[in-house]
Amino acid sequence: MKKLLILCLECLLIQMLHAQTRDYRVVFDLTSKDSLNQAAVMRWINEISAAEPNAQIEVVMYGQGVSMVTKGRSYFEDAIQKFTGNKNIAFKACSIALKNQNIDKSQLLTGIETVPDGIYEIISKQREGWGYIKAVAR
């Protein structure tokens, strides 16, 4: 009986530890060129990565949101460059939005990835169990 109780307690402890180590994965949806919305995304990335250094964070920009990662248009170029050095943080620009705005990939900040379709990228992340946040500061 004592062995059974110890075994049950060990199983319970393992389950509790497993629940606490679940992946923290979040995808941000940014469509705005508004600096307040972009600043909110940058703040959230700082807060999440400080609280959970192993969190996986992806910012998907489409529509006017691609201005955040375009040379000469970005309000946050230095901060973005700092984050692109972190393997757990990715900034992905929609190729459709780039084409619609006549922005060449060479005009993107260093380290920015592109995806064929920003909306599909977000949907794919959600299917994989990622949390979803629409970036709106107001």
Query: What is each CA distance from 27 to 19, 58, 124, 131, in whole angstroms?
Result: 21, 5, 10, 6
CA distance 101 to 66: 9
pLDDT digits 0-9 by tens, 16-46 = 555 455 689 999 999 999 999 999 999 999 9
Instruction: Please count the other Cβ atoms lying within 10 Å of the Cβ belonging to residue 22.
Output: 8
For the whole model, what pTM was predicted?
Answer: 0.82
Domain residue ranges in the chain: 22-134
Is the domain 22-134 a CATH 3.30.365.10 member?
no
What is the pLDDT of the chain when averaged over all its residues? 88
**CB hemisphere CA count around 50 (13 angstroms):** 6
